[in-house]
Every structure is written in C-alpha cells, then in structure tokens.
Amino acid sequence: MPMAAFHPKLPLAQWQFSTRCGHSASLADKRGIGSNGRGRNLMVLATLAATLLQVAAPDSAPLSSEVNAANIKWVDATRRQDFAMLTQIMAPDYVVTYHDGKVADLPTWLGRFHKIRMLDCGATIINLRVTGPDAAEATVSAYWDAILASGKPFRETYTARDTWNRRGGRWVVVRRDVVDMRVLN
C-alpha cells in the first residue's frame, strides 16, 4: 500500500513517497529509471494518485449503515406523517426535483404533504455511494399509497436519487431527484 510522508507547508515537489517494497521518490527527483527518467516519474505520479485516493476515501461501511438508518427513519416519519421528525430529517434547504422538471423546496413539499392522508409508503436504498465523511448519494426504489385532499386514492412508484449530508452530527437529506415515476391509478 502506498504511503506518503508530507508536510502541508512544504511545496508539493518536496513531498516524499514510498511503496511497500521500499522504493521511494520525491516529486522533485528527476533522475528517474533508465536514460529518459520517465519510469521513476510515472511511479511517483501513480503513488501520488493512489495516496490521494486512500486519504480521500472514508471507511464507507459505518457511514453506509448510518445513512441506511436515517433513510428508515425518514420513511417511518413519512408513513406516520410525523412532521416534527420530518423537519429533523429533511434539511431546511431541502429541495425535490420531480421527473417532469418541477421543483419544490421544503416548505412547499410540507404544505402539499399536509393535505394528503398517507396510507402506506416505502423506500429501499438500491445503491448507496459514500462521497465523503459527511456526504452520500442513495438511489431508492419507492412507493406511496395515499388519499388526496379531494378524497381520491393516489398510488405511485418511483426511483429517486437522494443526497444526504451529515450536519450537526446527524444525517439529513438535502436533495431528492425523482428520475422515474409511475402513477398506478
């Protein structure tokens, strides 16, 4: 596994890199391997890329578990129409973009949600990508079964991409992009 020994105040060219097999180089080392010097420079660039990826990639298993738990709370709060819990799980700057391009912010979404009676709903994360220690993107397969204010039953299934951020020590959903929706009745 590549290791890097660098100091943030040193210029990038002075950072030292080494590999498990004991090779080391700095970005300032121009001697290289062979007559053209490209071999060592390629090793340095490959090691730098691997090191930066290793430093940037958080351990995703615990974060994935946390985001899954937050998603379950969101679905439960939606099913029970628990507005206090919804405003804790949905960020104040939450925005949803529907498959037809229409957009709603949190107050608009909550206002519409107040007018329906939820019968059932569910959302299963089918793909989760941790993008940083405080950020994740989830693709969900979901459904709603509700009664509209007019008394008309409303059922739909949809696929959406949710953006989650950890803020103040808890996960909140900041964005939903509905990519596909089917109304069932």
Per-residue pLDDT at 86:
98
Sign of torsion over alpha carbons 142, 115, 99, 85: negative
Nearest to 68, CA basis, from 136, 150, 131: 136
| Claim to verify: residue 161 and residue 119 sit in the same structural domain | yes
| Claim to verify: residue 86 and residue 170 sit in the same structural domain | yes
Instruction: Give the start-end residues of each E strand in 100-152.
Output: 103-105, 117-132, 135-147
Per-residue pLDDT at 152:
95
| Claim to verify: residue 44 and residue 64 sit in the same structural domain | no
| Claim to verify: residue 78 and residue 101 sit in the same structural domain | yes
| Claim to verify: residue 32 and residue 64 sit in the same structural domain | no
CATH code at 177? 3.10.450.50
| Claim to verify: residue 141 and residue 80 sit in the same structural domain | yes
| Claim to verify: residue 126 and residue 169 sit in the same structural domain | yes
Residue with tokens 């290793």: 54
Nearest to 129, CA basis, from 55, 51, 58, 49: 58
Per-residue pLDDT at 79:
97
| Claim to verify: residue 25 and residue 107 sit in the same structural domain | no
Q: Where in the sequence is the domain holding 36, given as residue range(s)?
A: 3-56
In sequence order, what are the residues at sequence separation of 6 or more whose Cβ sits closer than 8 angstroms to the Cβ of residue 8?
none
| Claim to verify: residue 153 and residue 80 sit in the same structural domain | yes
The number of distinct structural domains making up the chain is 2
Edge to edge, the sheet with strand 24-26 lists: 3-5, 16-18, 24-26
Distance (Å, rounded) from C-alpha 112 to C-alpha 155? 16
The 10 Å Cβ neighbour count of residue 51 is 19
Per-residue pLDDT at 3:
37
CA 7, 10, 12: angle at the middle one, nearest 5?
A: 100
| Claim to verify: residue 146 and residue 107 sit in the same structural domain | yes
| Claim to verify: residue 88 and residue 177 sit in the same structural domain | yes
Nearest to 142, CA basis, from 171, 115, 162: 162
In order along its 185 residues, the chain shows pLDDT tens digits of 333 333 343 344 443 433 333 444 444 444 444 444 555 554 444 454 444 444 444 567 888 899 999 999 999 999 999 999 999 999 999 999 999 999 999 999 999 999 999 999 999 999 999 999 999 999 999 999 999 999 999 999 999 999 999 999 999 999 999 999 998 87
Per-residue pLDDT at 134:
96
Distance (Å, rounded) from C-alpha 86 to C-alpha 109? 11
User: pTM higher than 0.75 for the full model?
Assistant: no
Provide φ and ψ at 104, rounded to 5°.
-135, 135
Beta bridge partners of 127: 139
Q: Give the pair of three-digit tokens for residue 130.
A: 């941790």
| Claim to verify: residue 46 and residue 108 sit in the same structural domain | no
